[in-house]
Amino acid sequence: MFCLVLHSHLPWLANHGRWPVGEEWLYQSWAASYLPVVDVLRRLGEKGHENLLSLGITPVLAAQLDDPHCLEGLHHWLGNWQLRAHEAALRPGGRDLGAREHANSAWALQQFETLWRHGASPLFRELIEANTIEVLGGPLAHPFQPLLDPRLRAFSLAEGLTDAKTRWGRRPRGIWAPECGFTPSMEHGYDLAGVKHFMVDGPALHGDTTLGRPVGEADVVAFGRDLPVSYRVWSPKSGYPGHAAYRDFHTFDHATGLKAYRVTSRKSTEKAPYDPHLAAAAVKQHVDDFVHTVVRRLSSESERIGRPALAVAAFDTELFGHWWYEGPAWLEQVLQALPEAGVRVGTLTQARAEGFVGQSVHISDSSWGSGKDWRVWAGDQVADLVQLNAEVVETALAALDKNPSELRNRTNDQLIREALMAVSSDWAFMVSKDSAAGYARDRAHRHAHATREIAEAMTSGQFAKAERLAQDWNQVDGLFPALDARRLQV
């Protein structure tokens, strides 16, 4: 069996800047990845395809895809995209680019206005109920769980699964743990939360990813990312998106912000114009290569272990369309070509139910980041953020424990909401990778500041002030309205 797993995630960006980092990041990913990937899944589902893949959607991304402010912002962004296409068409030599981008933006506007304008949840619920996909959930706000206080870790996971059920009508049985972060004993927390399976990176299972593995004594199975298969598509050094025929992500026309070139040179001034026909031929070539890779891998691993083997390929959803423009076309063709080549395509739930599970294993500290350890989220470069996170969590829990409430208390809710936002794994990742590190540090400290000032007002007995502060911060960070701090009280 072959399982494709996609991980869809962006940090909370609404009301936190626009460009170059902020809401623009959300709208680019939404238009380039989420719209076309969902379209691929819907069309394949209409053709009768079922159990195509396991789709991870983090609660913080799901919140943005349903948020009225974000929906309005995307609609404006799509309209602006079309205006930029018209501008490109009027410039010397820009006719082909303008026509291509006009067609793309018109399609995106039509998709949004007919299917997405009331949020993403109805679309995902439709795919889930039709058994087109399995959905994977996760904890609120995407924390790096191994470094998080166990009490807040359990709360975040339970609330995340509840949030998923509210949006999609089903509580996910599987999760994509943020950053695939793991430390021993977490399997028991998963078991208690009703999680039946989760993803780890291949090295966490010592490279033997041909079967899912129960973890310790818990009734939960870890599925490992098959690196030889996954790295054919995307790796730190190679992969299909780097092919010279594909549209270049990094180089764009400065007058319009549109991407007019293909990957032909490291120098932006020497890149060749994008040619859709060359790109289509490369997609076909890479579909064939991937199918052959999967067939060979499954054949060799089945022979090695003496039973039918499993291969799990896992990627960020944003790779398909946003980072790799041709990715959705490749995805659609692969999902049809694999069954034609005799490969059974299924979900992680199916893999477990059909016995693609081996002997139990003990997993050590791990992630899918650099070095497959915790250095990205706990290394020297982010030691200050690790300390900040610990202080924020301690402050929030102490204030909550000092001021418990039998009734729903919006101040307590906002206190925990801001603490969870402060400890998002995204901030340390962006600093370690030097990707908008200033923005990331600012976000971490801003949420930490919100947590502190609400907590200080509460612990000093200034409850009216604490309530005003909580209301003000909620105007910016009002996601997860069902979050109830009473479920975190001692």
Catalytic residues: 179, 316
Question: Quick count: other Cβ atoms within 10 Å of Cβ 207?
Answer: 13
Residue 114, Cβ density class (10 Å: 0-12 exposed, 13-18 middle, ≥19 buried):
exposed
